[in-house]
Amino acid sequence: MIPLRVLLLTALAPMAWGTTYLVTTELLPAGHPLLAGLLRALPAGVLALVAGRALPRGSWWWKASVLGILNISAFFPLLFIAAERLPGGAAAAIAGVQPLIIIGLGRMALRERTRVLATIAALVGAGGVTLVVLGPSARLDPVGVLAALGGVAATASGVVLTKRWGRPAGVGPVAYAGWQLSAGGLMLLPLTLLLEPLPTRVEPGAILGYLWLASVGGLLAYVLWFRGIQQLPVAAPGLLALLSPVVATVLGVLVAGETFTTTQSIGIATVLVALVAGQMFTHRRAEPARLDPPPARSRELSHTG
């Protein structure tokens, strides 16, 4: 049985990410998704590398790059594009399908069987998220929808590969997060310089927004997230991700003055029930954090890892 402390700490990550939508629309300059992704990833990644005092070795150079692409350099810009183009927090609704993608990929890549009740909880949670953030007046921009779907698919793939590859023995979660944040940030750097003009003026609020996204929404959240993925069944992180749109909607109501309807109330209650029930169903046979095997028996030597 997974300790409650691990579950709660991991849940802090999607809750922090739920603030991204409000920060993006209220504080950040519009039209700069690559810059936002770069500033969220690279400074935090460098700081984590210094604090973690460990660099990748062997195959982990390319593994960290792949994970950095999926979890950071693909996900971040797509997230900011969706947040800018989908009104009323609608971008967060797409996160409701993430548990289903993770369960499907986990079954194929990890051969990890998910209980039927956990799958049902994921379906119910997806429906609840739809009630929370989508209303009859929502006008969905096609580019925003595609960006949100692409971001969800990228990070879902990253979750499954993180679970499959584990974490190298002797490498802590801070260094591990630093590898991915740095790799993703370095990949975003030339794209930002080539494809996106720098903002002519950066307001103090934008600076605070970038600092929040890089520290709490970047470094802290990803350290907790990657640590939790190693210790939780593959379906659990996807279900925890349902907290992100709930937080986004609540902040929209409390801070941005969005209307909180009866339908949204029902949706939030549905998501919370699905979240609690799903965690109960997925923890039937939880396994400890997976580390790479000793070199002599490493699956990497047989090219199957």
- pLDDT value, residue 274: 75
- pLDDT value, residue 290: 47
- Closest among 101, 93, 72 to 141, alpha carbons compared: 93
pTM of the model: 0.79
- pLDDT value, residue 2: 59
- pLDDT value, residue 113: 65
Round to whole Å and give the CA distance between 121 and 240.
12
DSSP state of 291: B
- pLDDT value, residue 192: 95
Which alpha helices (H) appear in the chain, and where do they start and end?
Answer: 4-17, 20-26, 33-52, 60-68, 75-85, 98-109, 116-133, 142-165, 173-195, 204-214, 221-231, 235-240, 243-254, 262-282
- pLDDT value, residue 184: 96
- pLDDT value, residue 130: 73
Report, as ranges of residue numbers, the positions in the chain whose pLDDT lies below 50: 285-292, 294-305
Phi, psi of 287 (to 5 degrees): -110, 155
Strand partners for 291: 167
- pLDDT value, residue 87: 56
- pLDDT value, residue 214: 94
Round to whole Å and give the CA distance between 239 and 241.
5
Q: Spell out where the chain has E strands.
A: none
- pLDDT value, residue 191: 95
- pLDDT value, residue 79: 86
- pLDDT value, residue 217: 92
Round to whole Å and give the CA distance between 89 and 256.
11
